[in-house]
Structure 1
Amino acid sequence: MSQLSEPKQRTILFLIADTGAGHRSAANAISNAIRLISQQEQEEWEARAQKEAVVAGNASDTHGSSYSKDGSQPLEYRIKIVDVFEEYSRFPLREVVKLYGPTIRYNPKLFGEFFNFSNREGSVMTMSSLASPLILNGLLRLFTTIQPDVVVSIHPIINFVTIRALRQLSLPIPFITVVTDLVSVHYSWFAPGADAYIVPTEQAKQLYLKRKLDPKRVHMLGMPIDPKYTHEVKPKEALQRTFGLSPDLPTVLLVGGGDGAGGLHTAIRAISQAHLPVQLMVVTGRNKKLYALLQRTRSRLHVPAHIFGFVNNMPELMHAADVLITKAGPGTICEALACGLPLILSGYVPGQEEGNVDYVVHNDVGVLAMDARTLTDALRRLLKPGSPELQRRLQNAARISRPASSFDIGRKILSFLPAADQPGVWQSQHSHMVQEQMSGRLHSAIRIRRLRSHLTSPISISKNTVMRRFSKTQDISSEQPGAVTKASRRHKRNWM
């Protein structure tokens, strides 16, 4: 037997954008699953090491032993989740991306028009060309800094430029796309050149195949939801006591997604005015204004209501409820299915979430209720004692739910990593040459941007005596010094 070397580490890089909470939630779900897989691998390895030590007559202090016949240890996984637009893109790209949340909340029709307009090859290629100069060098800097062994995208609009950046590195870094839309899959999700495309539904897979891409690279593994949805929870009665709920009233959970959109206030008002014999749990997400409004008006509602902001215990809330009312966000839909909750969809983001409505209705796990009358009627049917509609939807939810999807996705990602007995992607001589080349290129790009900023800055002109005199003669020196200084500082910051 020989002493083991230190376990090798592999780096997994997730690329996201915090447009809503869905992309980060999906990345967190997969990363949590990978950590649990790693823990299981370590426990299994330790058990084998103990068994080998016992067989060899060396059973003393074998827990966590560093000995094994084959000298191998499980890989360790270093996981990085990066909002690439916020941290590595330049103005105006990072500001444009931030418009998603306000747009779907205040003008969803406008977002739907943009989604449909951009959901075609020509539009995607044009947007990719415009975005590349604003993020390509940032991606190269990210990759050479983090040195990932695999890159996983969980956002559609980053895929084309990411593949371009990886090709410029000329390193065999696998690139995997995890699609987080159930049916209305935007054209930009399927950028040619990825090593694998993980999709949540058969409808999404068919859209992929329609693009004439390699059928061997698409894997239908479900929507990534947190591994907590596979855990056993307390009985519903115990959970209801935890949340201060009455055991004598049906519980309706209302969720608006990370940004709190989806007609929550309208749905609450409709249930209250109908005097339905229910109690409410309302999750407003990051919508602080709605949270404050509901807290102020809760005493005037005709039904008991418990108001929550952004929560981390959604599995417990769902298991305590009898019905879920939500907008048609894909993550929340799949979480509800995992918890066996029938759905009432109170709204959807045009374009992006229209297919999610079709998915829910076609599989008969819920209905769309965009007005007060439809919503209250749907609730009455579901909460009627012995409701056949409720039983049918619970059976359908159990049929199509995939609570362990994040583990399946995690294992697929891990299968692209170099084996423990192989060198990592960044350990070859070629990779060192690439790092040196990229370092020189990025430093040159920064110098060029600084020079360009200096040459175009009003301050550099004003320092020249001749130009200053000429400016006075022509009466064009009307800018305020403070404004010039702020603009210069902002310009410099955007280039850095």
Structure 2
Amino acid sequence: MNAKQRTILFLIADTGAGHRSAANAIRNALHLISQQEQDEWLQRSDAEAGSEEKQAPPPHYNVEIVDVFEEYSRFPLREFVKLYGPAIRYNPKLYGDVFHLSNRVGTVTAVNTMTTPLLLNGLKRLIISVQPDIIVSIHPMINHVTIRALRSLGLKIPFLTVVTDLVSVHHFWLAEGADGYILPTEEAKKLYLERGLDPKRMHVLGMPIDPKFSRPIASKEELRQKFGLTPGLPVILLVGGGDGAGGLQTAVKAISQARLPVQLLVVTGRNKRLYANLQRTRTRLHVPAQIFGFVDNMPELMHAADVLITKAGPGTICEALACNLPLILSGYVPGQEEGNVDFVVQNGVGVLALDPRTLVNELRKLIKPGSKVLQQRLENAKALSRPEASFDIARCILSYIPANQEMDPWESPQWLRRQRHLTERLRSAVRLRPLSARFPHTLLKNPATRRSTQTHDLSDISDVWETNKRK
């Protein structure tokens, strides 16, 4: 018996690193769940080797993660969303003002009216070419247009929204018409209910973080030995997010000038200039420090540390909680991350320290031998953490996929009839689908291939394929 394949399409935008990180975390959880299902099925098959009736194998999960704005939107929308990074870095107050002014139903409706024509047809082509069994959005500005695209195509495909803002849930997130809404916190649940959405479609499951944060790991002593840290000296981890923002250099300088009895692990992310500056000045610091760029072993660094200093990004906060790590927030994005600060402070797992003096004073409280403040925050973090959230979210997503193969919307008579009414450009996406079995997936993402499909001449794809074969 052949295993079925289920395709899960994640819609994201690379405005910051958080949306892709959340999608990757759920994808990794799906991979582990699939492995477990396959192992359990093999064990049952071995036990039932002599039986005439055998269970069908579990499905394989094909996960597609697509930056919708970058790959399928039109100018100027594609360029507009790229302003997010510069805005929060160089004029965060303006970004906060825009966030608050747009966080109302009327503004959301107006923005959707302007942006939908720049994205709708591209999104339709994406859906038709991938032919997913379920669609999951992990970006607020994609939700309304995806619901409209599915209705326009007449497809009954489950559509879910995974909210990745802990508290400050913008109106863009909660588009009416989704089949399910996965929320990270009770505070987000309250806003959801206030907006009059169906309670039966709501799932409060936590923030998706990489499954590595829930797996067994070496002891703190072993990890400190691995990183060459001094035994008995408190370890402070400083993280600025994927782009290395959040006042890292100021925090490092303040700790050094205070000559605190600590050692530092500093992660600068993708900020190469900050990494170079800190490496150049590291020997002049009054505290031992190790400087890292972008890392893929954050669970080890967090478990080796005693305190985390970071900006108020939701992913980093939840990763710290999963490692039972108390927080000092050194900054936040106005509007979007204001609620995250309240979440940390009100739940007693950390404080906000916007100036160097406050940061140093708060750090002194935590590194004091036998600190009761530290112990209380550790207990609060343990009670608040949800290290298995990605698995819970992955299972929730799978529960929305129809189990009966006969319910496949792409094989239904309604969809086959619907194809006759599609525009020629959308029909080209339908014709492209059978080629995916013949041509490599990387080729179908080749810019030359994409241009060929947009001009409806699929024979050009064969030319690209033959050229690549000869190379």
- TM-score normalized by structure 2? 0.89
The one-letter amino acid paired with 2:277 is: L
Q: Distance in 2 between matches of 1:290 and 1:91?
A: 32
Residues 36-435 of structure 1 mapped to structure 2, 5 A cutoff:
36-53=32-49, 56=51, 69-419=53-403, 421-435=405-419
| Partners of 2:243 and 2:271 within 8 A in 1 | yes
1:219 is paired with a residue of what secondary structure?
Answer: strand
Moved more, 157-166 or 413-422: 413-422
The one-letter amino acid paired with 1:239 is: L
Q: Distance in 1 between matches of 2:4 and 2:11?
A: 23
| Partners of 1:327 and 1:347 within 8 A in 2 | yes
Q: Distance in 2 between matches of 1:415 and 1:438?
A: 31
CA apart distance, 1:432:
2.8
CA apart distance, 1:326:
0.3
Q: Distance in 1 between matches of 2:97 and 2:19?
A: 22
Q: Distance in 2 between matches of 1:421 and 1:192?
A: 28
1:93-126 CA-partner distances (Å, limit 9, x unpaired) = 1111111111111111111011111111111111
| Partners of 1:14 and 1:82 within 8 A in 2 | yes
1:402 is paired with a residue of what secondary structure?
Answer: coil
| Partners of 1:75 and 1:420 within 8 A in 2 | no
CA apart distance, 1:407:
0.5
> Structure 1 443/432 Cα, relative in aligned 2: closer, same or farther at 3 Å?
closer
**Matched residue, 2:462:** none
- TM-score normalized by structure 1? 0.85
**Matched residue, 1:30:** 26
> Structure 1 202/50 Cα, relative in aligned 2: closer, same or farther at 3 Å?
same
Q: Distance in 2 between matches of 1:387 and 1:280?
A: 19
1:206-246 CA-partner distances (Å, limit 9, x unpaired) = 10000111110011000001110111111112111222211
CA apart distance, 1:70:
4.4
| Partners of 2:48 and 2:54 within 8 A in 1 | no
**Matched residue, 1:448:** none
Give the number of aligned pairs: 433
Moved more, 231-240 or 172-181: 231-240
- Identity %, equivalent residues: 68
CA apart distance, 1:73:
1.4
Q: Distance in 2 between matches of 1:90 and 1:316?
A: 41
CA apart distance, 1:441:
5.2
Root-mean-square deviation (Å): 1.8
> Structure 1 247/434 Cα, relative in aligned 2: closer, same or farther at 3 Å?
farther
1:334-381 CA-partner distances (Å, limit 9, x unpaired) = 000000100000000000000000000000000000111110011111
Residues 5-16 of structure 1 mapped to structure 2, 5 A cutoff:
6-16=2-12
In structure 1, runs of 5+ residues without a counterpart are: 57-67, 446-491
Asked if 1:17 corresponds to 2:1, the answer is no
CA apart distance, 1:429:
2.6
Q: Distance in 1 between matches of 2:263 and 2:253?
A: 13
Q: Distance in 1 between matches of 2:371 and 2:127?
A: 55
> Structure 1 92/385 Cα, relative in aligned 2: closer, same or farther at 3 Å?
same
Q: Distance in 2 between matches of 1:433 and 1:184?
A: 43
Q: Distance in 1 between matches of 2:71 and 2:420?
A: 23
In structure 2, runs of 5+ residues without a counterpart are: 430-450, 456-471
CA apart distance, 1:430:
2.4
1:412 is paired with a residue of what secondary structure?
Answer: helix
Which of the two has higher C-alpha Rg? 1
1:11-60 CA-partner distances (Å, limit 9, x unpaired) = 00000011111000000001111111111111111111111116x4xxxx
Moved more, 191-200 or 427-436: 427-436
Q: Distance in 2 between matches of 1:161 and 1:281?
A: 43
**Matched residue, 1:463:** none
1:98 is paired with a residue of what secondary structure?
Answer: helix
1:53 is paired with a residue of what secondary structure?
Answer: coil
| Partners of 2:8 and 2:64 within 8 A in 1 | yes
The one-letter amino acid paired with 2:287 is: V
CA apart distance, 1:274:
0.4
